[in-house]
Every structure is written in structure tokens, then in C-alpha cells.
């Protein structure tokens, strides 16, 4: 019964618009939109230190790294700002940040480029 419930929930998430204007990151069975605002996403990316590792692994400009960190992990967290930054990135920069997440143990569910 539990398996059926989880399968239904996963399907509903996919159907109901889990795709965002960023991308989904997943690690240890936890899935979050990079542009989301949840406390659980903050715990996974920020309290663990993973966001710093991801940004260090990436080849993004310092300004983009600083802004992504600020709007993901600081008191001025803003999913909207993260989405704006991501929208302004070039396709190469988007590919770079996704690869940096992968190199740090994350699975990426790309919903948009």
C-alpha cells in the first residue's frame, strides 16, 4: 500500500507541474526545485555545505556564484531571485551548474533549459 501511495504522489508531482523555470535537484531521496523556498531545501543545500561545494565546483563567474549563494542560503533567501538569475544565465552556464550538482552527488531532473 505504501508503494502505491508513493507512486501516486510521484505521478501527481510530475503531472501537476513539478517542472519549474529552474530545475529539480535530488539527493538521498529528497527532491527540490532549485528556485524553491522550502526549509527542507535549505537544509539539504545550505546547512550541509553542499551549495558551497557545488558553486566551488562550477566555473560560473564570481558574481553569479555569490548571488546564487545569497538567494539560496542567506537570510535574504528568495526563490524568485534564484529563478531570475537562472533565467539570465547562458545555456553553457546552465549546463555548468547542473554538472556541478551532479559532480557533488545530486541527480538533476531537467524540466527546462
User: According to the model, what pLDDT value does residue 85 have?
Assistant: 96
Share of the chain above pLDDT 90, in %: 69
Q: How far apart are CA 31 and CA 67, in angstroms?
A: 22
Residue 22's pLDDT is: 84
Distance CA(17)–CA(23), nearest Å, equals: 12
Q: pLDDT confidence of 82, banded at 50, 70, 90?
A: very high
pLDDT in tens, 7-51: 445 544 443 344 447 899 999 888 899 998 889 999 999 999 999
- Whether 73 shows a pLDDT value over 70: the answer reads yes
What end-to-end distance do the CA atoms of the chain give, in Å?
36
Amino acid at each position: 500500500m505504501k508503494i502505491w501511495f508513493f507512486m501516486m504522489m510521484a505521478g501527481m508531482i510530475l503531472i501537476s507541474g513539478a517542472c519549474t523555470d529552474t530545475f529539480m535537484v535530488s539527493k538521498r531521496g529528497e527532491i527540490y526545485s532549485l528556485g524553491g523556498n522550502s526549509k527542507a531545501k535549505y537544509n539539504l543545500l545550505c546547512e550541509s555545505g553542499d551549495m558551497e561545494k557545488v558553486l566551488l565546483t562550477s566555473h560560473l563567474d564570481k558574481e553569479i556564484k555569490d548571488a546564487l549563494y545569497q538567494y539560496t542560503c542567506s537570510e535574504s533567501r528568495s526563490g524568485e531571485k534564484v529563478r531570475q538569475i537562472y533565467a539570465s544565465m547562458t545555456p553553457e552556464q546552465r549546463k555548468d551548474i547542473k554538472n556541478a550538482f551532479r559532480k557533488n552527488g545530486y541527480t538533476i531532473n531537467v524540466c527546462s533549459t
